[in-house]
Chains A and B, each alone.
Chain A
């Protein structure tokens, strides 16, 4: 035990910072969710589980729950399909492939706030470059109100998020793919397997660890998305892009219902916890089998 004392000392500052700025506020949220605090008064009033009761009957909460899962699932699928597809193509070690792997990572290195603002301008129906390009090649009947059309808005936001973050998925898949022994492919080739067969029977099963990580991480990421939606549509038009995180912000800061907002935060936390646990359990089983 004695040899752990000094390393423990070095870990202590980081642990203190983490506890102070993350653990305590989370515990604070649990506490505030049982009050009707408005963010200004010195003493919040305890109201028991009233916030959670209101939550269950609040139509906007159920609607935003639907939007949350819609966004999270499409994000998860989009990033993983795109990430895996590109990883398959770019897993080699030729210089072109190496350069492209770094190239696709550039959006990841940019501030997602700046990216969201720029996508806002691109999606502008009058002056935005997307509609401009469509008009200039004679396809003006395809121009859309990308962020204003209630059917399209969610997908426009999702698209910009996938554009920005799929590269992380791709990198993890590349690492996973490179770990698959090459002689398996050679053996399959000798047995006459085509590319499709090789993917289904060798690649996909053996990339399972990377698959688990990516699916779980992108799902959690997708369930919590806030910044991009806030900047691009602010939950609009008419609430079609308002997920639980946006609703939480609106209740806590716009309506000054910190207690209710905290209750929504707790519900989000529980949902993410349950979904992630389920995902890990189901996906881990796949890994063990193969």
Chain B
């Protein structure tokens, strides 16, 4: 029989043992040499936010069939925890071999902390479209495998346009006329929901290529050199026109309290005729109403006769951890994904970033193909220092609630200066 004293001792020892085993973490699978990685069985860790590139699980199966000696440990992380999780792992030296990254300047923190490696010599680099190359590169080096290309455009309800006898507007005054006709018919011209802060950026990003970059491609470089600021630039007119749409009553009521979901619902139910959104979101609207007839046209923020430039951006799929113990296997994985058959599955329903991978995007998005050939500019957050985009969100919200445009642009200028320090 156990005496009380013995029980106490056993209990104490067990609890300490339990604690210690929970604390320790064994790192397995790192014993193989990278020199003969193709022969020895290897496991590579891959991390992706769970709301993107959802066909990866299927592609991973295909990859493992093709390369039986490489096993993939795939981690589809909940989106809002993704960045924190990966950053923590990288900071502690335990980062995944491959992980999803953003484009443009958002790669800088990872490059500066030596967490991702350059992939310039990979065979798929030469097959990238200009937009894909731009998204994946920084300072002349390629750092990631690009995936799908998105555009910001005006999605519109074709049935409403037909009923009201409307045609696609080719310049800003026509756009305002179309909006007025829709308003007069009792429908909402443009669905907008600024409660979800990231929605604030869509219209400015859609305006900027035509308003600034078509004629002044060097604008951003000049900003970095301190020769240009948001204050005193076409941004003043852009924000005034953005607010002007609200003042003319072209948006739904209570824009500040409406969320992204409500925007989609207004489009899906036919209460709203148009909305400025990013192309992957069309799927969500169709999901709410499979019968709906949708089209997309670029926001015609131009004077009559001028060329419209489209806002576009390519998302990256994966970058390779600079400290990976299996660089060969990781690069083989990227090469596999870049093959046309696989890339088509990966970007299903979107525009491709590779010249030899045909785009099989939603037919509504394909309507903008011609416009995109005339001219595009990347989505602005990929070239700004990372302090500016969040400041744009609050700046637009403040302008819509009465603050002056000049003050809002000054905040963005201050954020820009802070970001380049």
Contacts and interface: CB of A to CB of B under 8 A. Distances in A.
Interface of A: 6, 9-10, 12-13, 16-17, 20, 38-42, 120, 123-127, 145-150, 233-239, 250, 253-256
Contact of A120 (B23, B259, B397): B259
B253 A126 contact: yes
A42 B257 contact: no
B387 to A, nearest CB: 6
Interface stretch (B109-117, B336-344, B362-370): B109-117
A46 B266 CA distance: 51
B109 A38 contact: yes
B398 interface: yes
Interface of B: 8, 11-12, 15-16, 18-19, 23, 83-84, 87, 90-91, 93, 109-110, 112-113, 115, 194-195, 197, 252-259, 262, 265-266, 386-387, 390, 394, 397-398, 400-403
12 contacts: A9-B12, A12-B12, A38-B113, A125-B253, A125-B254, A126-B253, A126-B258, A146-B257, A150-B402, A239-B397, A253-B84, A255-B386
B109 A250 contact: no
B387 A124 contact: no
Contact of B19 (A13, A123, A254, A256): A13
Dominant secondary structure at the B interface: helix
Dominant secondary structure at the A interface: loop
Nearest to A234: B197
A272 B401 CA distance: 32
A65 to B, nearest CB: 17
Contacts of A126: 252-254, 258, 262, 266
A149 B257 CA distance: 7
B257 A123 contact: yes
B91 A42 contact: yes
A253 B84 CA distance: 8
Given A126-B266, A148-B195, A236 B113 contact: no
A238 B397 contact: yes
A124 B8 contact: no
Nearest to A126: B262
Nearest to A36: B421
A7 to B, nearest CB: 9
B15 A236 contact: no
A16 B19 contact: yes
B256 A149 contact: yes
A12 to B, nearest CB: 7
A9 B8 CA distance: 9
A9 B18 CA distance: 14
Contacts of B109: 38, 40, 256
A150 B398 CA distance: 9
A237 B401 contact: yes
B258 A41 contact: no
A186 to B, nearest CB: 50
Given A40-B91, A238-B398, A250-B390, A147 B197 contact: no
A148 B194 contact: yes
Given A40-B110, A127-B265, A256 B254 contact: no
Given A40-B115, A238-B398, A13 B16 contact: yes
Contacts of B91: 39-42
